[in-house]
A and B are shown apart, each in its own frame.
Chain A
């Protein structure tokens, strides 16, 4: 192709790739097409790896999986129109779970914008409320500045997705206007943007006082702790203060599950102790959590006696759902560093009121209401919980686990033992079915030496299974544990419990499709397991396979329900425990 720029000039397409190189991008998850075509040409000459996905939604979730696993921004690149709308789900997912991500979309030529041109859509309009920020670039020379700003915005403060929409004309090699003198900025000028990193000293001091006096304290830890890389501080804080820790769905792994102070997951399908400890607490330290409705249940009835200390980097989270008694606006890790310094100055562990009775109470609840299920009889299909337990016990402790959305996700969160941060990747806020497989691919691409298991449901699997072709073609050998219960299980559970067992549009069947054949056709090793006694051996066989993806079709019984459960909008005082734990009177 003829380069029509003046000597020393670069065109917009080269500038996109060069800017991504400047930002240290290792992998782009993407899919080419008309409007983004010019940018795919210089891609041939870069060291950045491009993973060619099979659907743009997959590119978005892979970028998310990459970001969750590494803390670095995930990058995806797709064309205009339908490609941009396909990536919308992933952007919304990343927005709700505060995932750092930069998404580049092609756009029709500047002169065609607004004319309903082929593959034109208002990408920045569509994505405005599901991105932290977005850009429609109108001049080639703005490309380096915008890309630098986008990475800054995506990764600082409360992280989130940033979209850059680039019209074809400003990256076209045959357009003189797409050429400019190369530069790369080392600063950003964003007069309206300055994240609150360091909290007010006074708010920290107030929190220290309150925490020292507490008799029934709980640390209610959310994804913000992981985003702040604050797991180390959390461990020190919990151990020094002897305060029990609950980790929300987004924070699993932020505190080791095997630690004696760990109470596990709270919320709608949390365990009895985690829910009840929050509920009965007198001081609740919300650390990077946002009082999501799946955690609080009925807000008016949530932790009614608790004074709330809310630590969050986003000022808008303070008072959005629950008015905090002490509001600490800042980065969780920085806030915990300041707290730790304060506690140490007061004598460390000695600074805290004795709350051994509370610890005993919490421990009693754990003994009384552990997570439980009843193993299936010989000849019956599998219990999903058993499958996940076996998987957990057969895999290295640093295995990365991803999940889709529904029953299998809850069981994975409940029964896996998360002892390391960044080993659990799921779609919490948006609840995106189909997240698991592409997210696993993104994580495995980032960390090829780690074992990555996608725990998936049959409904979810059918939404994004085609990305297993990507996994095979790109040699990203993930493993998929398909919890095949023949139903949209969570919807089925609700219909059973709240709609008089009138099952409406939830039956898929165990055999349609034939998952083994399907997986094999996509280049995977595939197995089917129907008996509990075979579960472990097949997992161990799968764990030996590293040259291609593996899918195990675990035939699970359809009727199994997720317990404990708090009904939607119900009070967390009313935890429905497993039937075997209910007394005579219930």
Chain B
């Protein structure tokens, strides 16, 4: 993901019921919308979960995605969170094989990105960073110079920037 913004984050509040994620995923598949990432977690109110979906806004009409999503009976509220109006964060964890003489170099990169070393054993480091989309991508590119054994990104979550009012699509 580069600096050109070709994505849109959509935060979808859903009823916490069996099969709701399948309904959302099915809708994207059925209408040919592309998902870049998708995160589901319960909210403070356990009756609801929030599904945060990053949609490819070049190939999908965000207006249609939102309207079609809202036709799902279990979808309660939708917020469109653009890169300009929201804070977007993602977690990356990776296990990297690193020779002893380059360990300091890797640690320095991790420090520069405010990351952490979670584990250090058998010539491998498990590291994590939490950052916005561009920084995450930069970091992932940087550590490619080492031997990456495992790498996993969490998918993106987002909140409105303080002071920004982001319209909510609701049932009422």
Q: A and B: real partners?
A: yes
Residues of A within 8 A of B (CB): 124-125, 128-129, 132-133, 136, 138, 153, 190-194, 314-316, 318-320
B76 sits at the interface (CB 8 A): yes
CA distance A314 to B61 in the complex (A): 17
**Cross-interface CB contact of A125 among B22, B63, B172, cutoff 8 Å:** B22
Q: List which B1-48 residues lie within 8 A (CB) of chain A.
A: 14-15, 18-19, 22-23, 26-27, 30
The distance from the CB of A321 to the nearest CB of chain B, in whole angstroms, is 10
B93 sits at the interface (CB 8 A): no
What residue of chain B has the Cβ atom nearest to residue A196's Cβ? B171
B63 in contact with A192 (CB, 8 Å): no
B73 in contact with A153 (CB, 8 Å): yes
A316 in contact with B76 (CB, 8 Å): no
**Cross-interface CB contact of B67 among A132, A193, A315, cutoff 8 Å:** A315
Please judge, given known A-B contacts A128-B26, A133-B73, A316-B71, whether A191 and B19 are in contact too, CB under 8 Å. no
Please judge, given known A-B contacts A136-B19, A192-B76, whether A315 and B70 are in contact too, CB under 8 Å. yes
CA distance A194 to B171 in the complex (A): 5
The distance from the CB of A323 to the nearest CB of chain B, in whole angstroms, is 10
* Chain A residues within an 8 Å CB radius of B77: 192
**Cross-interface CB contact of A316 among B15, B68, B73, B172, cutoff 8 Å:** B68
CA distance A132 to B68 in the complex (A): 12
The distance from the CB of B42 to the nearest CB of chain A, in whole angstroms, is 16
Please judge, given known A-B contacts A315-B67, A316-B67, whether A192 and B75 are in contact too, CB under 8 Å. yes
* Chain A residues within an 8 Å CB radius of B79: none
CA distance A125 to B29 in the complex (A): 13
B59 sits at the interface (CB 8 A): no
* Chain A residues within an 8 Å CB radius of B70: 192, 315-316
CA distance A129 to B26 in the complex (A): 7
CA distance A288 to B120 in the complex (A): 65
7 contacts between A and B (CB under 8 A): A124-B19, A128-B19, A132-B73, A192-B73, A192-B76, A316-B64, A319-B63
Say which size band chain B's interface belongs to.
Answer: 20 to 34
What residue of chain A has the Cβ atom nearest to residue B75's Cβ? A192
The distance from the CB of B163 to the nearest CB of chain A, in whole angstroms, is 28
What residue of chain A has the Cβ atom nearest to residue B69's Cβ? A316
* Chain B residues within an 8 Å CB radius of A138: 18
CA distance A136 to B14 in the complex (A): 18
A314 in contact with B26 (CB, 8 Å): no
B18 in contact with A136 (CB, 8 Å): yes
B142 sits at the interface (CB 8 A): no
The distance from the CB of A455 to the nearest CB of chain B, in whole angstroms, is 33
B74 sits at the interface (CB 8 A): yes
Q: Of B26, B63, B71, which is in contact with the most chain A CB atoms at under 10 Å from its CB?
A: B71
Q: List which B51-72 residues lie within 8 A (CB) of chain A.
A: 61, 63-64, 67-68, 70-72
B27 in contact with A129 (CB, 8 Å): yes
What residue of chain A has the Cβ atom nearest to residue B74's Cβ? A192
CA distance A129 to B22 in the complex (A): 10
- Since A129-B27, A319-B63 are in contact, a sample of 5 more A-B pairs with Cβ atoms closer than 8 Å, ordered by chain A residue number, is A153-B73, A193-B73, A315-B67, A315-B70, A316-B70
* Chain A residues within an 8 Å CB radius of B63: 319
What residue of chain A has the Cβ atom nearest to residue B17's Cβ? A135
* Chain B residues within an 8 Å CB radius of A129: 26-27, 30
CA distance A124 to B74 in the complex (A): 15
* Chain B residues within an 8 Å CB radius of A318: 67
CA distance A174 to B34 in the complex (A): 48
CA distance A316 to B63 in the complex (A): 8
* Chain A residues within an 8 Å CB radius of B171: 190-194
B15 in contact with A191 (CB, 8 Å): yes
CA distance A318 to B14 in the complex (A): 23
* Chain A residues within an 8 Å CB radius of B73: 132-133, 153, 190, 192-193
* Chain A residues within an 8 Å CB radius of B30: 129
What residue of chain A has the Cβ atom nearest to residue B19's Cβ? A124
* Chain A residues within an 8 Å CB radius of B76: 191-192
* Chain B residues within an 8 Å CB radius of A124: 19
The distance from the CB of B27 to the nearest CB of chain A, in whole angstroms, is 7
Q: Of B30, B63, B77, which is in contact with the most chain A CB atoms at under 10 Å from its CB?
A: B63
The distance from the CB of B60 to the nearest CB of chain A, in whole angstroms, is 13
CA distance A129 to B24 in the complex (A): 10
* Chain A residues within an 8 Å CB radius of B27: 129
